[in-house]
Structure 1
């Protein structure tokens, strides 16, 4: 990926205002602002400088590599292999906990934990409703006229995943935090992107990374992760050490498969931004950091991953680079096999395996693809 993005010229008028003469306000007398240190004229009506003027961004075609375990044979995202088994276990535990809590309540032996479990349906409903209302009242809603590039990415991701309805999308102030999430309330679904993360598609000029992140969070919705009944069924999992967090990690790997399906070339930039922020992301060696997934080992490394709600970044980068298998859940990835040394004196050389194509841009020579046996 390069830092140049042809989706937006660097200034609004290219040195000529709509009013006719350089340096004058456009027709209608709307004031313009001239930077103190000189530079291009900027009309505030056109939005932040990194996004103005907003023109449609045409993504490059997807790579040839499609039939991997990160994607189904038909090019659609695949669920992580651990997601459904862990979900079944957590739901069974939650149902048993609900029945036991009701039994204690009926026998008059209810404690604080019992009351929490019994009131869980109402608590989950209220939290989801308040979260949605907060975004509607404070967030900047993406639309064809407001952050249209981001809005188009949401529409493209929803169409890519076969969703019947495009979810709402909001930009909220990040206060330095790099984050995004998806949620829902009733039949409504929405995506929230913090402004510091949203900027990587604007001022930081990496729209592919932003498209990967938006595809990741729209993928949570497409995979059913934000359903009220699913979240209610996972309620007791948060009280079981490691188990509940492991299910959430599996869901994150599934969402990464959606992000990769939506914009594979944006995965390195997105992970680099999560690792080092929006200013230092271009200095991160994606392949070098992914290699450390097989190098960093020890008991506490295992503990940190097992207790995390998201895959640790080194393992996550490895999974996005090595599309031959699902991301690792509990044990660190194994290093790749040693390369075959050339036979001396012109001996027999085994034929090279035939794959589906080269790696997506930004992955380098360490990219591994799935090849049928």
Structure 2
């Protein structure tokens, strides 16, 4: 199924960009109203332009430019991917010596788009890693296509908001992972290419993917969480899992962050900070009843357990910290016995996670027809909808006509539109329920 650029975009990229843009515009207005502010802005832009020119000038002067005459096989892939992705002009591509580092990035130089590939990445094409190299190139082309470089310059003042610019950058990385995997149509290669970033081009084929992704849960604590929220890139296991699930690569496991450990860690950090804050203020105000009175009033109100809980709740609502019920976990694992025991004990079939996904949706996402039938027989709503699809459109998106037929038999309405605005009729390109039945029953 052909997806639009909007559908390929991470669902958090646009909100983060809009927030960053609004804040940046406000700062630009304040700078314009102040001569001092304009001076700071001009100096800052001049410095960034100078540093960028020096760095990119060195790359263009010393790097090897890929062209019809230089590594023509790779150049042909760059041209082909640029055309497929709708770029009006093929960016300049340079290879530079990486001294063991493994990376690539997109940028601009005097109005011209550039993709820079480190030699360690480039050598993949000489070591039977062509598909992985295609993914890396397509990922950087996606940055060019979506003008992420220009957008980051535009919203530069947003860096003054803690964590915001990093959150936007991470959402852009998820978007480019999805778009690159979609255009090369190879989810396995996409997962391997991201794994290479963690272990290198020699060992990546030996990595146990399930054990690597399990680190999302086992290596989930406040230190790991903090390192991620301060970083411009998501954690590698999360990227591997996200692109595998997006491309519906069979066998991609699903793990979630240990929200309890992270919440306790955040609480501990706030507690330590709070104690230190009290100690400092107490030293400054020792012997002064006036300062003690001020401290016991407004300052204390700024640090409360409610504020700590709010921070925890914000984190727990993120894409990769969904809280699954025991029923959802059992359905995801295909554990028929546990599912039956939970249903007999009165488990709520319509309970949802933070994306309004029910247990039936998890059965559909896992292509588990037997599990879906069990839930439907027990009374699950066949028209359930989460933030992205309803049950029927989810089954059709996975091209599972047998699942679609099962849902219809239990009352799913093919004319109901999902949150994206598509009905089952739209998904199949038909206009009547009769045509819908002919398709799902004859395949």
**What TM-score does the superposition give when structure 2 sets the normalisation length?**
0.56
Give the secondary-structure state (helix, strand or coil) at the position aligned to 1:193.
Answer: strand
Alpha-carbon offset, residue 291 of structure 1: 3.4
Using CA pairs below 8 Å that are at least 6 residues apart, which structure has the higher relative contact order? 1
Say if 1:161 and 1:301 are closer, same or farther in 2 by CA, change over 3 A.
same
Shift of 1:226: 2.0
1:281 to 198, 204, 211: 204
> More helix by proportion, 1 or 2?
2
Aligned partner of residue 205 in structure 1, secondary structure: coil
Q: Distance in 1 between matches of 2:371 and 2:157?
A: 54
Give the counterpart of 2:101 among 174, 177, 180. Answer: 177
Distance in 2, matches of 1:157 and 1:260, equals: 12
Mapping 1:22-33, distance limit 5 Å: none
Contact persistence 1:179–1:193 (CA under 8 A): yes
2:109 counterpart of 1:188: no
1:350: how far off?
Answer: 5.3
The answer for the alignment partner of 1:88 in structure 2 is 18
Q: Give 1:293-312 correspondences, 5 Å limit.
A: 293-312=216-235
Contact 2:135 2:181 in 1 (8 A): yes
Task: Using the TM superposition, give the Cα deviation of residue 295 of structure 1 relative to its aligned residue in structure 2, in angstroms.
Answer: 4.1
Cα distance in structure 2, aligned partners of 1:141 and 1:198: 12
1:256-312: per-residue Cα shift (whole Å, max 9, x none)?
Answer: 112112322421221121010122111212343223324432222321221111011
Question: Is 2:44 aligned against 1:120?
Answer: yes
Residues 154-183 of structure 1 show CA distances to partners (whole Å, capped at 9, x for unaligned) of 112211111111111010000111110000
Partner of 1:248: 169
Instruction: Specify the alignment match of 1:319 in structure 2.
Output: 242
Q: Are residue 132 (structure 1) and residue 65 (structure 2) matched?
A: no
TM-score (structure 1 length as normaliser): 0.66
The partner residue of 1:262 within 179, 183, 189 is 183
CA RMSD of superposed structures (Å): 3.2
User: Gaps (5+ residues) in structure 1?
Assistant: 1-65, 358-371
Question: 1:156 maps to which residue?
Answer: 80
2 CA distance for matches of 1:116 and 1:278?
44
Q: Aligned residue pairs: how many?
A: 277
Shift of 1:77: 6.6
Structure 1 partner of 2:333 = 338
Alpha-carbon deviations, 1:164-221, whole Å to 9, x = none? Answer: 111110100001111100001343111000001211121x321111100000001100
Give the conservation status (yes or no) of the 8 Å contact 1:238–1:244: yes
Task: Please tell me whether Structure 1 or Structure 2 has the larger radius of gyration of its CA atoms.
Answer: 2
CA distance in 1, matches of 2:333, 2:206: 28
Change over 3 Å in CA distance of 1:313–1:167 after alignment to 2: same
How big is each residue's C-alpha offset from its partner over 1:116-150, in whole Å with a ceiling of 9 and x where there is no partner? 43433333433443343222211101112211222
2:2 is the counterpart of 1:99: no
Once residues 106 and 399 of structure 2 are traced to their aligned partners in structure 1, the CA distance between those partners, rounded to angstroms, is: 33
Mapped to 2, the partners of 1:294 and 1:199 lie a distance apart of 33
